[in-house]
Structure 1
Amino acid sequence: MDEGLSIDWTQMPTYNTIMSVAAGAGLVSVVLFGRALSRGKTVSYEGQAVNFGVLGVILTVTGAHMTLTWPFAAYFPFDNIIFGEPSLAFGVLLLAAAFLLWRRAEQLRTSTDPVSELRAIAAPLTILIIGLGLSLLAIAAAGLVFQLFAAPPEEPISGLFAQWPWVEAIFMSGLFALTGLGAVLLPAAVRGLRSEGRPSAVQVVTGIALGMSGTVFVLFGALNFFTHIGLIVHTM
């Protein structure tokens, strides 16, 4: 192109599309798994392990690469922190959950109180999960203060709001804030988890926050497979 934004895509590999879909699927999966346990439903622990394992591999590999190599350094360096580091942390947590559920599937299936066992194992992760939640809230604040996330005009659909950068800043910051709120509340929600118990207010809010944000991440990531391809076409 003679005018407008031009990007050397050989120097900036981008894959936050699949990261968004996988992260969203992971958030929704956590909510559905917790709801199944709280309602005393029969759970396929091997199936959950496979699901968490697949999502964990995607997020760990892409998150680690983005965190360690900074592929967006030439144009959007802050995106390496915003998308890479949370994805890496969430991916490792999902892999740990997959390993645990696969190894202890039979034990959990025959246990009289599998929820208590899982709750006790998850307890030491409280500090990390709350820390990640606070980090997501910090990312949301940075997005608003510095008006990040605005798509360039060359990007289809999202680029229509390029002259109003606060629109996408509010949308994405709100999405990160909602996820961060769910993460901060998650340890308290897990501590109160009981088989066939009535969900507490904290559990309801946590489920809504993570479920809604996860769904939006899946849909937004899927949309970006079109918009990012269009951006590449328009800026080669």
Structure 2
Amino acid sequence: MDFFVGDDTGLVIDWTQMPTYNTIMSIAVGAGLIMLVLLGRDLHRNENFKPEGWALASGTFGLILTITGTHMTLTWPLATYFPFDNIIFGETSLGFGVLLLAVAFYLWKRGTALVASKDRAAEAASVAKPLGIFVLGLGLALFAIAAAGVVFQLFAAPADEPISGAFARWPWLEAIFMSGLFALIGAGAVIFPFTLSSFSSIRPLSGIAKFMGLMWGVAGIAFLLFGALNFYTHIGLILNTMN
């Protein structure tokens, strides 16, 4: 989490000018990525595929990210001192959230037809193909965010933040960690369109699809755990820096 410097008595943050909820956003992003990996696995090999359950999960995560991402994107700046957070967290969450809502809508409305298809995975891939353009664009944007995080040493936590603050003297460390997660998701997004042509329930899973699933799975677990941890660290930071 980004911060600004207070007076000689220590770090003081005016939280009325510093709203933040990238805690729940991080959990929803992580859960959404993990869900997509598991959804792909189910489409590929599970004979008892239940589209309604996946629709409910995708809709839940998508709704959280669309609402919070829209607010952060349109409220400029949401945090007065860090307008770049609107781009990094707001716009990416909005894009991912709308995609998850689209997945939920399709599975809910067309789930029965999908189950009846001779090749569920190929059918889903053919429907997702047009969205691959936007997913590719988001992947390139995530590469840009990752590069900015390293070059400008973003994401560093202040010393007043529990746990993460222990690394405040090395701002490049958290910059590399967070930028690495963005790059992992971006790499999976960039190759996403190229996995669709070979995605099938009746053929072995391609190496590129396995690689994409690995990247999204690892990044999803990391974001889920990091978001859960931030519920503690952000509460501690607020208590440590209140007037």
Normalising by structure 1, we get a TM-score of 0.96
Given that residues 135 and 180 in structure 1 are in contact (C-alpha distance below 8 angstroms), is that contact kept between their aligned partners in structure 2?
yes
CA distance in 1 between counterparts of 2:112 and 2:148 reads 45
Question: Does structure 1 retain, via aligned residues, the 8 Å contact 2:17–2:79?
Answer: no
- Note the C-alpha offset of 1:38: 1.5
Cα displacement (A) at 1:82? 0.6
User: Residue 100 of structure 2: which of 79, 87, 94 is its match?
Assistant: 94
Per-residue deviation, residues 3-40 of structure 1 (Å, max 9, x unmatched) = 22211112222110000000000001000110111124
Matched AA of 2:90 = G
Q: 1:59, 1:191 → 2: CA distance?
A: 28
Structure 1 window deviating more from structure 2 (127-136 vs 66-75): it is 66-75
Matched, 1:189 2:189: no
Measured against aligned partners, the alpha-carbon deviations of 1:175-207 in whole angstroms (never above 9, x if no partner) come to 111110011111212221110422211011101
| TM-score normalised by length of structure 2 | 0.93
Q: How does 1:30-179 map to 2 (within 5 A)?
A: 30-70=36-76, 72-179=78-185
Whole-angstrom distance in 1 between the partners of 2:134 and 2:147: 20
CA RMSD of aligned residues (A): 1.4
Aligned to 2:206: 200
Structure 2 unaligned residues grouped into runs of 5+: 1-5
Point out the more displaced range, 123-132 or 195-204: 195-204
What is the number of equivalent residue pairs in this alignment?
236
Contact 1:40/1:196 (<8 A) preserved: no
In structure 2, how many angstroms separate the alpha carbons of the residues matched to 1:74 and 1:220?
24
CA–CA separation in structure 2 for the residues paired with 1:190 and 1:30: 14
Aligned AA for 1:133?
A: G
